[in-house]
Amino acid sequence: MTQYEVMARRYRPSTFEDVVGQEPVANTLRQAIVAGRVAHAYLFCGGHGCGKTSMARILAKALVCQRPDGGDAPTPQPCGECGPCLDITSGRDADVVEIDAASNRGIDDIRKIRDQAAYVPVRDRFKIYIIDEVHMLSTEAFNALLKTLEEPPAHVKFILATTDPHRLPETVLSRCQRFDFRLVGAASLSRFLGEVAQRENAAVEPDALDAVAAFAGGSVRDGLVLLDQLISYADGPVTRRDVERLRGAAGAEAVAGLFGDIAGRRVAGALVRIDELMRQGVAAGDFLDQLMDFGRVVLRRAAACRDAAAPAAWDALMGEDGLYGPAREAAAAMAQATPVDTALLWLDVLSQARIRTRQRVLGNPWVAVEMAIARLAGLDDPRPVGDLVARLEALTGGKPPPPRSNPTPPVSPAREARESSVQETPPAAPPPVPAPVATPVAAPVATPSVSSALPGAPEPSTAGASSESSSEPPSEPSPEASSEASTEPSLEALPEPPFIASSANPAQTPGSEAASANARPKRRTAKPGARAVKKNEAATTADAAFTQAFGENGESAAGGIAAISGRDAPPSDEASPTGAALPAFLADEGATPPEADSPSGEAAAGEAGHGEETDDQPRQGSADEALRDPGVLDVMRLFRARVVEVR
């Protein structure tokens, strides 16, 4: 019984023309041999199974082939029948050495090559070293190879092959002629596999060949291995479903149907389809690869439909797509109604899911698949950004949007209720103002007129605004403050003492007081609180201090000032009536007291005394002199601050 040789070895190319999909590399090497411009070192880069090692062996045969016609020069068409060609094919040639750098990567292995390179070949024209997977060499091995690679003996040739050229040192790359091998296209690979199937006398459907080429991913070796398996698997002709079952992949119908669910916004249907594939044993990563291939074809064809006026772009984008069976027709139909931006969004989400499955971020890779599909199928009419901008311009008439203004802060419901209750409450009638009689004041005397008339206080404005209201913005009273303030008698409603009523504003009459009281809103009443009790105590303390200094009704103003300033009080027979000294006492700090000789002074004194004329200038002067004392002014400022605090 003869030993079976797999198709990947039996159908390995033996000439430059047999290499599939690498025509540029083959033509370059063939022309170099004809022109006698063969380099001493070559570097073949590319993916696995694309023909790097096969091309290296063909080049070695072309360099050492002993043609039947007796020529001793390299030939672009090796015969394949001479001793060197047969030995190279079987791997027995002593002068053509193949080294696997993955297992011979140390510096000692490279030293052995360097020592052997100094000897001439045994039989062949050249001594050729084929180093496969050269990127696996260690750094020391690369350093040991540099000198020999740059200036080898005339009879030595190096052919290096690698799938990761970026891992090679720049010193190695600069010493070699580099050839990049590309992946084989799906159409070219499908034709090649069809020819192999005919040689094997195997019946394979065209859709099955396209499926094999799609799953091979551009690798000829992978395609031959899969086709070899399919011929052994199928009892009859090989079908597309046989390929999908053997490969363990989702069917083309499932892929097309899932994208139909995404386009139709059917999240539940898409998840049910994914669950069926998971139960069939489909790998999550392979399924995402199939979805990305489908989305890529939709993107390419959508772009081709948008630029159908360019024939070159249409032919390039509508050529080989890598799909097979129903998926190809479904992608062509979906591309007609899918914008390019939507296709880009599909690919972006699917690629992120593929990264998660490769990195094994989640324990179950199907979770990433379900998340991606649910997100895509759940999008509500994903419009391109350009369409949204055009719609906004159409709505605004092409004008720029107005500048944004600071929005008005919302008003809380509690504040609205307070404002409405204050506005709806009608002002109550003011209490009657009693006649100015000398009676004790039981309630605390803390009114705006007192605070404004004390020395150091600012002049009252004509609008009636206090210094506090001008320095601080009005704030909305809280319910607690309103309830506390209402427990004490209204300061505005209390009758003012005669000396305050007469001296704070001499021109004010009881009628004007009533008019101003009518303009004040009535405060709401509430139960007394702790803060109200403290205010009453503070008012009582201030009242006691005032009474001690000035008497109960202000009749001892001059005496109180003298007592505070540390001076003696004037004689009793020169006791000043209330109106004589109080205008100067209550005047603003720095004001000049009215003179008795002047008409204005007499009028002011008369008005302060409620119409009682007086010519007692010494009493007026003693009060004014006491008020100019800094100690008296300090005490008055302190008293005024206490009155304002109580209020």
Sheet holding 156-162, edge to edge: 96-100, 127-132, 156-162, 41-46, 177-181
Query: Which residues lie across from 180 on neighbouring strands?
Result: 45
As a whole number of angstroms, the distance between CA 606 and CA 614 comes to 7
The structure tokens listed for 315 are 């032919």
Indicate the CATH number of 252-385 among 3.40.50.300, 1.20.272.10, 3.10.20.30, 1.10.357.10.
1.20.272.10
Element (H, E) at 100: strand 96-100
Kindly report, residue by residue over 1-26, the tens digit of the pLDDT: 578 889 999 999 999 999 999 999 99
Residue 62 and residue 75 in contact, taking contact as beta carbons nearer than 8 Å? yes
Residue 303 and residue 340 in contact, taking contact as beta carbons nearer than 8 Å? yes
Kindly report, residue by residue over 175-233, the tens digit of the pLDDT: 999 999 999 988 899 999 999 999 999 999 999 999 999 999 899 999 999 999 999 99
| Residue located via tokens 């199974």 | 49
Residue 66 and residue 83 in contact, taking contact as beta carbons nearer than 8 Å? yes
Query: The domain 186-247: what is its CATH number?
Result: 1.10.8.60
CA nearest to 190, candidates 27, 73, 20, 382: 20
As a whole number of angstroms, the distance between CA 558 and CA 622 comes to 8
Mean pLDDT of the chain: 74
Kindly report, residue by residue over 318-344, the tens digit of the pLDDT: 556 678 888 888 888 888 888 888 899
Average pLDDT of span 229-251: 90
Q: What is the pLDDT of residue 390?
A: 75
Which range (6-10, 197-201, 351-355, 585-589) has the least confidence?
Answer: 585-589
As a whole number of angstroms, the distance between CA 353 and CA 366 comes to 9
Average pLDDT of span 540-559: 57
CA nearest to 182, candidates 344, 373, 20: 20
The structure tokens listed for 351 are 């690629």
Q: What is the pLDDT of residue 616?
A: 45
Task: Please give the residue that has the higher pLDDT: either 246 or 466.
Answer: 246
Q: What is the pLDDT of residue 191?
A: 92
The structure tokens listed for 84 are 């060197």
Q: What is the pLDDT of residue 320?
A: 61
Kindly report, residue by residue over 139-157, the tens digit of the pLDDT: 999 999 999 999 999 999 9
The winner for highest mean pLDDT among 375-389, 474-488, 511-525, 618-632 is 375-389
Kindly report, residue by residue over 82-103, the tens digit of the pLDDT: 899 999 998 899 999 999 999 9
As a whole number of angstroms, the distance between CA 407 and CA 30 comes to 78
Non-local (6+) Cβ contacts of 30 within 8 A are: 16, 76
Q: What is the pLDDT of residue 336?
A: 84
Chain centre to alpha carbon of residue 511: 70
As a whole number of angstroms, the distance between CA 377 and CA 379 comes to 6
As a whole number of angstroms, the distance between CA 400 and CA 388 comes to 15
Q: Which CATH class is domain 7-181?
A: alpha beta
Q: What is the pLDDT of residue 182?
A: 92
Kindly report, residue by residue over 496-528, the tens digit of the pLDDT: 444 444 444 444 444 444 444 454 555 555 555
Burial state string for 247-264 with b = 16 or more CB within 10 A and e = fewer than 16? bebbbbebbbbbbbbbbe
Task: Please give the residue that has the higher pLDDT: either 319 or 32.
Answer: 32
Residue 135 and residue 161 in contact, taking contact as beta carbons nearer than 8 Å? no
Q: What is the pLDDT of residue 466?
A: 40
Alpha helices, DSSP H only, in 45-203? 52-64, 83-90, 107-117, 139-150, 170-173, 186-199
Q: What is the pLDDT of residue 168?
A: 94
As a whole number of angstroms, the distance between CA 58 and CA 13 comes to 8
The structure tokens listed for 458 are 């600012």
Kindly report, residue by residue over 430-478, the tens digit of the pLDDT: 566 555 555 454 444 444 444 444 444 444 444 343 444 444 444 444 4
CA nearest to 56, candidates 92, 1, 97: 97
Please, which pLDDT band fits residue 638 given cuts at 50, 70 and 90?
low
CA nearest to 192, candidates 168, 218, 171: 218
Amino acid at 433: V
Task: Please give the residue that has the higher pLDDT: either 444 or 275.
Answer: 275
Average pLDDT of span 50-66: 94
Write down the domain spans for the chain.
7-181, 186-247, 252-385, 428-468+478-647
Task: Please give the residue that has the higher pLDDT: either 118 or 454.
Answer: 118
Q: What is the pLDDT of residue 471?
A: 44
Q: What is the CA radius of gyration of the chain?
A: 54
Q: How far is CA 643 from CA 141, 452, 520, in A?
A: 98, 10, 20
